[in-house]
Amino acid sequence: MKSCLFFLSYPWSVDDGGGKTHAKQTIHALQNLGVDTKPFDWTQENGEDFSHILVFGFSLHTPEIFRQLKRRYNSKIVVIPIFDRPQSRLTMKISHTMGLLFPLDNVAKRRKELLTIADKIMVNNTLEKHDFMHIFGIPKEKIIVNHLGLPLDLPDLYREIQPALFQQFSGLTNYIFFPAANVTERKNQLFLLCALKDTSFPLVLTGTENIQPSLKKDFDRLIATRKNTFCYGRLERNMLISAYKGATAVVQPSRFETAGIVAMEAVYCGAPTVVSDIPVFREYLGDAAIYLPFHPRQWKETLHFLYEGRFPLPAKRSQEEFYEKHNWTTYAKNLIETFQGIK
């Protein structure tokens, strides 16, 4: 595989979440392996190699484009849906089925057509594979699970960046750290704030300049009534690594995740990492994290004991072992093998 053209759902300038990270890390890893990877050029009339097409996202594309590419150039097409299931599987199944029955063009029909055109669908975890089988009716043989990786620059940054950078910025040396790109139901900040409302140890939140509108009133109320809650926007990369390394604990009480890159980074940086007990975290983190159910009292007590140094921590994983298991080079190699296996 010498070259690959890719399609994005959104311009990177308007995507501050995990989808952008996923696409950028995949593309950079492919390029590092010698694959000429570049965006599809709509003005190209000839001379382009259309043999391998990589599609990020599956809701906003026009499927007919890919049908034409496959028909004219026999293109091999892999779709990476970047799918977060916001509702139960049954609810999503009903919604998708109703969309297919609706007489006008809609997202459900576009998704179905693109997934049908694709040679392979690459998902991020086992639960997501079952979602695509049961919600969208995709045969299991067509779905490949490929685990996301730790950022390519993380080992070097870990060696270079020290906890003092964030400590000097924030004035904090002992704190619970909850990093996120935004405040949403999925990330579950309101749950944690409610659980910790009667505590006073320092809690650091990021991404608080982007709040889901339906949550803003309650979020502002909870922030106003809890002492020692520190809200920041999105931290620069160096500052984020420093905050991981200096944190008493990193928390991720997410309701849904595709991989949990933040939790993976925290584990790599040696921070005690407390996460919700959902299948995705178990699949990616194994025994490297502390798992808690969605029970407010358990979160309150666990974080209180962690802050005071009275909670037994999981045995620390070897950084090299953890990175070897979760890195974008391995992800890109699996992607190349998937393309090569398409007949």
Same domain? For 69 and 49 the reply is yes
Same domain? For 97 and 170 the reply is no
Q: 43-97, pLDDT tens digit by residue?
A: 877 667 889 999 999 988 999 999 999 999 999 999 999 888 878 899 999 999 9
Tell me the C-alpha distance between 250 and 247, whole Å: 6
Residue 295 — very low, low, confident or very high, per pLDDT cuts 50/70/90? very high
Same domain? For 208 and 291 the reply is yes
CATH of residue 163's domain is 3.40.50.2000
Q: CB–CB of 329/29 below 8 Å?
A: yes
Specify the pTM: 0.89
Tell me the C-alpha distance between 9 and 315, whole Å: 40
Same domain? For 185 and 141 the reply is no
Same domain? For 103 and 174 the reply is no
Same domain? For 181 and 136 the reply is no
- Provide the domain limits for residue 136: 3-149+327-340
Same domain? For 190 and 247 the reply is yes
Same domain? For 34 and 177 the reply is no
Same domain? For 195 and 286 the reply is yes
> Which pLDDT belongs to residue 9?
84
Could you give the number of structural domains in the chain? 2
Among 248, 252, 265, smallest CA distance to 291 is for 252
Same domain? For 48 and 168 the reply is no
Rounded percentage of the chain residues whose pLDDT exceeds 70: 99
Find the angle CA(5)-CA(6)-CA(8) to the nearest 5 degrees.
160
Same domain? For 61 and 204 the reply is no
Q: 157-167, pLDDT tens digit by residue?
A: 999 999 999 99
Q: CB–CB of 285/273 below 8 Å?
A: yes
Same domain? For 94 and 74 the reply is yes
